[in-house]
C-alpha cells in the first residue's frame, strides 16, 4: 500500500538538514518566498512542480513515495513525464477502461478524461490512483537504463546537430568578419589618400593667398 506523504514537511525537513534557507530555495527556483511558504504548508504538490524542485535541489523527491529501495541514488535519470499519458498507457496495457478507473476512484468519467489529458497531477491524487491500480506511478518518473540510454543517444544527436549548425554559423560570421577587415583596410587606404589630397589642396590654397 503506497503511503501518502506531506510533501511540504518532507521538503522543509530536507532543506533544514542541508542548511538551505527558504530565501535560498526561492532564489534557486526563481520564485518568491511567499510561494515557497505555500509549498511548505501544502500536504500535496503537482508532479510537474515536484520534478522542478527535484532538479533544482538535485534530490529525487519522488522516491519519498516509494515503498521500497528500488533505486539508491538520484543520478540524472529523473524524467519529466506526461503523467496523464503514462496512466492511460497503463490502463490500456491492463485492459482497464477509463470508466472503470472512474468507478474505482468514485468520480465521474469526465474527471478521469481530464486527468489523462494533463501533463501534471496532484501527488495525493496520484497516490490514490497508484493504490487503486496497484502500480507506483511515482517510480515511472525515474527512467530505466534502456530508456535513459535511448534518450541520451537522441540528445547527443540533437546536440551534435546544434553544434554543427553553430559551427557553420561561426564560419560564416568569421568569413564576413574577414571580408569586413578587407573592406576596412580598403576604406582606410582611401581615407589616407583623401587626407593627402586635402593637404595638397590646403597648401595650394595657401600659396594662392600668398601670391594675391
Q: Is residue 164 over pLDDT 70?
A: no
HEC string for 158-183: HHHHHHHHHHHHHHHHHHHHHHHHHH
Task: Tell me which DSSP letter residue 30 carries.
Answer: T
Rounded to whole angstroms, the Cα distance separating 70 from 157 reads 30
Based on the domain organization, do 62 and 88 belong to the same domain?
yes
Based on the domain organization, do 86 and 186 belong to the same domain?
no
Based on the domain organization, do 29 and 128 belong to the same domain?
yes
| pLDDT, greater one: 193 or 167 | 193
Q: Measuring CA to CA, how many Å separate 103 from each of 4, 112, 113, 114?
A: 21, 10, 13, 15
Based on the domain organization, do 28 and 82 belong to the same domain?
yes
DSSP string, 80-96: ---HHHHHHHHHHHTT-
Based on the domain organization, do 94 and 195 belong to the same domain?
no
Name the residue with cell 507506483.
Answer: 136
Based on the domain organization, do 115 and 160 belong to the same domain?
no
Q: What's the domain count of the chain?
A: 2
**Predicted local confidence at residue 91, as pLDDT:** 94
Based on the domain organization, do 158 and 103 belong to the same domain?
no
| pLDDT, greater one: 46 or 187 | 46
Based on the domain organization, do 112 and 39 belong to the same domain?
yes
For residue 55, give the nearest of 78, 36, 72, 83 by alpha carbon: 78
Give the pLDDT band of residue 196 (cuts 50, 70, 90): confident
Q: Which domain holds residue 204?
A: 145-212
Based on the domain organization, do 62 and 122 belong to the same domain?
yes
What is the percentage of the chain residues whose pLDDT exceeds 90? 48
Based on the domain organization, do 27 and 117 belong to the same domain?
yes
DSSP lists the bridge partners of residue 78 as 142
Amino acid at each position: 500500500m503506497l503511503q501518502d506523504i506531506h510533501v511540504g514537511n518532507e521538503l522543509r525537513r530536507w532543506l533544514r538538514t542541508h542548511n538551505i534557507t527558504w530565501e535560498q530555495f526561492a532564489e534557486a527556483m526563481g520564485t518568491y518566498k511567499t510561494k515557497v511558504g505555500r509549498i511548505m504548508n501544502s500536504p500535496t504538490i503537482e508532479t510537474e512542480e515536484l520534478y522542478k524542485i527535484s532538479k533544482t535541489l538535485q534530490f529525487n523527491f519522488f522516491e519519498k513515495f516509494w515503498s521500497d529501495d528500488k533505486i539508491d541514488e538520484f543520478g540524472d535519470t529523473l524524467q519529466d513525464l506526461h503523467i496523464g499519458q503514462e496512466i492511460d498507457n497503463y490502463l490500456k496495457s491492463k485492459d482497464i477502461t477509463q470508466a472503470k478507473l472512474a468507478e474505482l476512484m468514485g468520480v465521474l468519467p469526465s474527471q478521469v478524461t481530464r486527468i489523462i489529458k494533463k501533463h501534471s497531477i496532484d501527488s495525493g491524487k496520484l497516490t490514490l490512483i497508484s493504490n487503486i491500480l496497484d502500480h507506483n506511478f511515482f517510480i515511472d518518473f525515474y527512467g530505466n537504463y534502456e530508456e535513459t540510454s535511448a534518450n541520451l543517444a537522441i540528445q547527443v544527436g540533437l546536440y551534435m546537430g546544434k553544434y554543427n549548425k553553430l559551427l557553420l554559423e561561426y564560419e560564416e560570421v568569421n568569413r564576413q568578419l574577414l571580408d569586413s577587415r578587407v573592406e576596412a583596410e580598403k576604406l582606410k587606404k582611401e581615407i589616407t589618400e583623401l587626407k593627402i589630397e586635402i593637404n595638397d589642396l590646403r597648401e595650394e590654397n595657401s600659396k594662392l593667398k600668398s601670391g594675391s
